[in-house]
C-alpha cells in the first residue's frame, strides 16, 4: 500500500553507478572551486593553488581528474614553455550539464540566453593582427553590434594578417578588411568592463585599467607561428576556438549588462 511520504518504486533514486560523470566530478569541493576559477579564465597551477589556498599536489591531483574527465584541457604557455595553462572546456561542460539535467527531467533543459548589450570589452594580444581582431569581430557579430568592442596589441603589426581576414570572410561571412592594428597605448584612459588577453605574452605586460574592470585570460596560441600544418587550417582552428569562447562569454555579459554603460 502506498502511503503519503513513501517514494514510489518507479521513482527510487538510482544507484551511485548511475550518477552522471559531471555530478561525480563537480561534487567534490576542491574540484567545484577549480571549475569556478577556470570558468572565469585560463590559469596556471600556481595561480590556482594561491586562489584556493590548497597545496599544489592536491590541486594538481584534482586538475588531473577534471582533465581525465574531459572537462579541463591544458596548453603550454607561449610566454614560458615551462608553464601550462588550464582551460575549462565549456562546450563539454554544457553538454554534460544538459545531459544531466535532461536525465532528471525534460523541463530542466537549458534555455537560450539573452543577447547582451551595453558592455565595453577590450581584447588584447601581442600583434593585434589575428587573434584579438578576430575576437572583436566575432563578439560584435554575435551581439548584433550592441556592444562597444575594441582590440589592441602590445606590439601591433603594420596590418592584419591576410589569412585571418580570409578565414573570417569564408568561415563566418565577416569582413575585417577595414580594421587596422592599434597599440594598447591608444586605449589608455578608456574605461572597459572587461579586458580579455588572448596570448600569454601580452598577459604579462597588459596595463591596468579601472578598478571595476574584470580581467580574464584566454591562452590561445598565435596561428601565424603554427608549424606542421596548413596556414589556413591553423587560422581556421584558432578562429573556431575564439568563437566558442565568445559564445560562452555571451551569458556572462547578458547576466551583468542589460543595457547602458556603468557610471
Active site residues: 125, 199, 206
Copy the grid coordinates of residue 251: 551569458
Copy the grid coordinates of residue 239: 578562429
Instruction: Give the DSSP letter of residue 111.
Output: P
Long-range contacts of 256-260 (CB under 8 A, 24+ apart): 256/116, 256/119, 256/193, 257/116, 257/117, 257/118, 257/119, 257/193, 258/114, 258/116, 258/117, 258/118, 259/117, 259/118, 260/118
Alpha helices in the chain (DSSP H): 21-26, 29-39, 45-52, 56-68, 90-104, 131-142, 162-172, 200-205, 231-256
Q: Is 55 left (phi over 0), alpha (psi -120 to 50) or beta?
A: beta
Q: What is the pairing mode between strands 120-125 and 148-153?
A: parallel
- Distance (Å, rounded) from C-alpha 146 to C-alpha 118? 7
Amino acid at each position: 500500500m502506498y502511503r503519503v511520504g513513501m517514494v514510489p518504486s518507479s521513482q527510487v533514486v538510482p544507484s551511485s553507478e548511475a550518477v552522471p560523470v559531471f555530478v561525480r566530478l563537480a561534487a567534490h569541493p576542491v574540484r567545484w572551486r577549480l571549475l569556478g576559477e577556470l570558468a572565469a579564465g585560463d590559469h596556471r597551477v600556481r595561480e590556482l593553488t594561491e586562489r584556493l589556498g590548497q597545496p599544489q599536489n592536491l590541486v594538481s591531483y584534482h586538475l588531473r581528474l577534471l582533465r581525465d574527465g574531459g572537462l579541463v584541457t591544458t596548453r603550454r604557455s607561449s610566454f614560458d614553455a615551462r608553464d601550462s595553462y588550464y582551460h575549462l572546456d565549456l562546450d563539454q561542460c554544457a553538454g554534460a550539464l544538459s545531459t544531466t539535467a535532461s536525465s532528471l527531467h525534460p523541463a530542466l533543459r537549458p534555455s537560450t540566453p539573452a543577447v547582451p548589450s551595453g558592455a565595453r570589452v577590450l581584447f588584447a594580444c601581442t600583434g593585434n593582427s589575428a587573434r584579438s581582431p578576430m575576437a572583436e569581430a566575432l563578439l560584435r557579430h554575435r551581439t548584433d553590434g550592441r556592444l562597444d568592442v575594441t582590440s589592441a596589441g602590445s606590439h601591433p603589426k603594420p596590418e592584419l594578417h591576410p589569412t585571418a581576414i580570409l578565414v573570417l570572410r569564408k568561415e563566418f561571412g565577416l569582413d575585417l578588411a577595414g580594421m587596422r592594428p592599434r597599440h594598447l597605448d591608444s586605449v589608455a584612459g578608456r574605461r572597459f568592463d572587461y579586458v580579455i588577453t588572448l596570448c600569454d605574452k601580452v598577459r604579462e605586460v597588459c596595463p591596468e585599467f579601472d578598478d571595476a574592470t574584470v580581467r580574464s585570460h584566454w591562452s590561445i596560441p598565435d596561428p601565424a607561428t603554427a608549424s606542421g600544418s596548413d596556414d589556413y587550417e591553423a587560422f581556421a582552428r584558432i578562429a573556431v576556438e575564439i568563437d566558442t569562447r565568445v559564445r560562452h562569454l555571451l551569458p556572462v555579459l547578458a547576466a551583468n549588462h542589460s543595457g547602458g554603460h556603468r557610471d
